[in-house]
């Protein structure tokens, strides 16, 4: 077999290696994280390619009908993805990037196994893609007395493809858990202890307020410090998802009293009817 013919026989697998290379580039370039390019490259990586290379390694001979090979490719892709996901779940963790990297490693490994198995066969028994032959066979299948079998095979391919598409969406869609916001007040040393409760009129003490956004979306907040139903200070802030805010706040009571309720109220967006979170302590203030 001459070199040109040798590479033509593996053209489909070489194209897959090239596809994997582009997929890895899309992972390495942060700006492509949410781009349509990664989605375009990722869909075949999940729905078809893992099964296709597995079929090529398991059946290196040209004794499978094209429709059967396509159906097996889609079906085995559904099998491969959960197995890789299970392995990742107990090793490196299950997320989009780890799934893509694991898929690329699996595909590259199986491609070389498939090429090695195909090369050991006589040339006339080797599986290779011939698009003209593929179209001709498909036309014969659709116009022969096996029309019913062909239609059933197409329905099977469509069904498996739909299931694989749902599997892809399940992997690539970010998992949204409970939406909440952390809100806390610490003492002047940044500890949840030794809060000042005995204060002097017009003297000041330091406290630390903190907010962490776990709402999965950018959120606007308003913090109000209220002493005995009287507003002392207001703080407005905007946080991206998972962003943390901490700031020193100064408590300067302006009236005397015992067991006065000092409240820290957190409002989300423009809803000032009911506080989203609230904290409080009771303080005494004397002259």
CATH number at residue 213: 2.60.40.10
Confidence (pLDDT) at 169: 60
Which three-class secondary structure state does DSSP give residue 246? strand
| Count: domains in the chain | 2
Is the domain of 123 the same as that of 90? yes
Domain that holds residue 188: 180-286
Is the domain of 155 the same as that of 188? no
Global pTM reads: 0.50
Contact between 204 and 230 (Cβ < 8 Å): no
**Residue 190: pLDDT over 90:** no
Is the domain of 46 the same as that of 166? yes
Residue identified by tokens 């809803």 is 271
Confidence (pLDDT) at 158: 64
Confidence (pLDDT) at 267: 96
**Residue 150: pLDDT over 90:** no
**b/e sequence 196-234, b meaning 16+ C-beta within 10 Å:** eeebeeeeebebbbebbbebeeebebbbbbbbeeeebee
């Amino acid at each position: 077999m001459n070199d040109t013919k040798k590479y033509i026989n593996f053209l489909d697998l070489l194209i897959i290696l090239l596809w994997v290379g582009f997929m890895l580039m899309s992972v390495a370039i942060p700006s492509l994280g949410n781009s349509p390019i990664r989605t375009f490259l990722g869909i075949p990586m999940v729905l078809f390619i893992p099964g296709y290379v597995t079929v090529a390694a398991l059946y290196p001979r040209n004794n499978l009908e094209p429709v059967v090979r396509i159906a097996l490719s889609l079906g085995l892709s559904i099998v491969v993805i959960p197995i890789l996901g299970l392995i990742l779940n107990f090793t490196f963790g299950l997320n989009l990037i780890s799934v893509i990297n694991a898929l690329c490693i699996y595909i590259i490994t199986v491609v070389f196994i498939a090429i090695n198995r195909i090369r050991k066969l006589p040339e006339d028994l080797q599986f290779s893609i011939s698009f003209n032959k593929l179209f001709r066979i498909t036309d014969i299948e659709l116009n022969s007395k096996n029309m019913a079998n062909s239609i059933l095979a197409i329905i099977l391919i469509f069904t498996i493809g739909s299931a694989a598409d749902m599997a892809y969406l399940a992997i690539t869609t970010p998992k949204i858990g409970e939406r909440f916001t952390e809100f806390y007040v610490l003492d002047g040393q940044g500890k949840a202890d030794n809060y000042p409760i005995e204060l002097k009129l017009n003297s000041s003490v330091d406290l630390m307020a903190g907010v962490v956004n776990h709402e999965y979306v950018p959120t606007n907040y308003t913090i109000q410090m209220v002493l005995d139903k009287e507003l002392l200070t207001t703080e407005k802030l905007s946080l991206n998802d998972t962003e943390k805010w901490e700031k020193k706040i100064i408590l300067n009571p302006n009236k005397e009293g015992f067991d006065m309720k000092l409240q820290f109220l957190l409002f989300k967006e423009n809803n000032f009817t009911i506080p989203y979170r609230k904290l409080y302590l009771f303080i005494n203030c004397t002259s």
